[in-house]
Structure 1
């Protein structure tokens, strides 16, 4: 019998489950798992001699038996200035180019963790297939890292997903299941498949290993800035996987005395689908009654009912941050503006730059992520 070195735990019910189990959610409330795991401090001077992948921060990551087998050298993406501080204008803005990942999106940070864990389960005969659901980028990342690990993958996507993303997923050998309906209908179909015996649900929402991958985004900022963090970290939020990973990293760095202050987390949603922004500005701790969404260019964050909503709202408030929303016209113009600066980013990935352009940035350094390559979707019409 395998001995789990970490455990899943429900943040609501405090029910625990070994990570070697295929139970993808809390059996009581059906909510997503967190990971009961204590990180160790990362030595900044030691990083100079380490390899360029997420595993350079191995002290901060859950133990992974098969990390070397699945890495594609993800991480260590460039940080480039977009707006320089000037006299009388003390704010500066830099972009972290997470679209320069092996599958051209930040989702590789979490997918490599899921693939390493899935390979562990497969090698010990606990799982024989991997199921994921996605609006495109997460599915592509799971398919790519699944291929790297030699795993059979089934990816559920909404009908109408970008043909270029579907081509990418299929190129990696994964089977695509197109679901009639919206993103939530797709997630329901995948969860039904995940309940079948021998299935590992590689969910970027429900499985906390994904969040421990995305937290390396902030560890990289900390390293790049010489042991400090920016004053403000802006992130796009649909299911909140990048934001919650960032919050994890911030708390770990504070706990280990590696930083002294907590950056403000500013969450960005498309105005057309912004349930979290509405709840935040209403002072609510949970989502209210469902708000009908409208079509948006930012398809990757068009999530009407994110399962981790309570955690997302709490994380933003804990840092003194806020929620911003952007219009479709602002998204279009932000994409074109970045392209004129030499950065071709997909429409979801430009949401944060659109928000910063519309609202003057706070004093100090603000960092925005550019999360997906424009080649995945093309220029927004």
Structure 2
């Protein structure tokens, strides 16, 4: 198994140590290892993310995998230049299965008996499912505002759910405190880098499903940034191996109510802007202070891409349009489609410096859009309304 290395001071840690952060405060990455996939062998391999075995830091465990990965890549009816990657069809109905199965496989290999994770929903449901299959008890810390559908799913998989009052940041802090208990694996999709290497299979699949070529642009939602960083890993490895000629531009999308990365990109900063995030229907990306923010900004810039924001109304409209295409997704999944729709219709904020870059990239000849989570996880849209209404109410139903 591949060890961990600090992204700041380069200190190394055995993966068996269950360390999740360097003593210097830096975040951990997976140490360098050979990742070149045997492209000639792919046609004969199982139709799951484990077909890219050479690129993964751990081998498949047949008792844990659910055949996750290789989700369909479908053409959009309304946006002919775009293809939709249907990761909401994975076993627990979100792309987080990609990282969760890798972490659960690692935990079982290490003999872990208890795991802990913090989540706004999808990571928690995925961890609950895969750690349950591994025979490891999982506790999930969630904000008290987490949608009932996601809570029910976590409990159905046997997880203990700890609801935390306050913000998403309060939940993360409560989990970090609990993670210091002896013998507990902090199976964080943010802090444990093995998770990112599971998510990067999303990028490998795009390459293979498009006839072993990469699109001009890949659009991804960004909160904690696991999909951005996973895509960047995949595209970098494919180019380094000579399997792709160039990196796609990564356009990352935030909710305008909570956009610390978009604001940092617009201001040319290297770290996220300090904000007090407001309520948004895209709960999965409502992260006011992403721990890997510096890495996210660096990765997006390295591809020639940018980070933009869309409103809740744009997101809700995109969700309805996707429903008309037969695709029922949660609001967080709809932000990327909303961004492409805004670029096509030219309804974006023309004064935004990041939209000035993104508009042409989102209307390029080939664009891939992820649909990351199923609509049943968040069946209704609620949009915050201004407090100046004559009959004030907190939410307006769509």
Give the TM-score range, shorter chain.
over 0.9
Match of 1:60 in 2: 55
State the 4+ residue runs in structure 1 displaced beyond 3 angstroms: none
User: In 2, are the aligned partners of 1:8 and 1:36 still within 8 Å (CA)?
Assistant: yes
User: In 1, are the aligned partners of 2:343 and 2:363 still within 8 Å (CA)?
Assistant: no
User: Following TM superposition, by how much is the alpha carbon of 1:348 offset from its aligned partner in structure 2, in angstroms?
Assistant: 0.7
Does 2:72 correspond to 1:78? yes
**Which of residues 79, 90, 93 in structure 1 aligns to 2:82?**
93
Does 2:210 correspond to 1:225? yes
Match of 1:148 in 2: 133
Structure 2 counterparts to residues 93-112 of structure 1, below 5 A? 93-112=82-101
SS at match of 2:38: coil
SS at match of 1:67: coil
Q: Structure 2: where are the runs of 5+ without partners?
A: 345-361, 382-397
Match of 1:88 in 2: none
Query: 2: CA distance between counterparts of 1:162 and 1:83?
Result: 30
Match of 2:36 in 1: 41
After TM superposition, the score normalised by the length of structure 1 is 0.93
Match of 2:395 in 1: none
Query: 2: CA distance between counterparts of 1:104 and 1:336?
Result: 19
After TM superposition, the score normalised by the length of structure 2 is 0.90
CA deviations over 1:238-271 (Å, ceiling 9, x no partner): 0000010000001100111000111000000000
Query: 2: CA distance between counterparts of 1:13 and 1:278?
Result: 27
User: Following TM superposition, by how much is the alpha carbon of 1:133 offset from its aligned partner in structure 2, in angstroms?
Assistant: 0.6
User: Following TM superposition, by how much is the alpha carbon of 1:83 offset from its aligned partner in structure 2, in angstroms?
Assistant: 5.2
User: What root-mean-square deviation, in Å, do the aligned CA atoms of Structure 1 and Structure 2 show?
Assistant: 1.3
Q: Structure 1: where are the runs of 5+ without partners?
A: 86-90
User: In 2, are the aligned partners of 1:264 and 1:319 still within 8 Å (CA)?
Assistant: yes
Structure 2 counterparts to residues 149-188 of structure 1, below 5 A? 149-188=134-173
CA deviations over 1:122-176 (Å, ceiling 9, x no partner): 2xxxx32000110010000000001111111111000021111111000011100
Query: 1: CA distance between counterparts of 2:282 and 2:89?
Result: 19
Structure 2 counterparts to residues 217-256 of structure 1, below 5 A? 217-256=202-241
SS at match of 2:43: helix
**Which of residues 211, 216, 228 in structure 1 aligns to 2:201?**
216
Does 2:110 correspond to 1:121? yes
Size of the aligned set, in residue pairs, is 365
CA deviations over 1:67-101 (Å, ceiling 9, x no partner): 2221110001001111588xxxxx71010000000
- Cα distance change on mapping 1:83 and 1:281 into 2, 3 Å: farther
Which deviates more from structure 2 when the two are superposed, residues 327-336 or residues 358-367? 358-367
Which deviates more from structure 2 when the two are superposed, residues 248-257 or residues 38-47? 38-47
User: Following TM superposition, by how much is the alpha carbon of 1:186 offset from its aligned partner in structure 2, in angstroms?
Assistant: 0.6
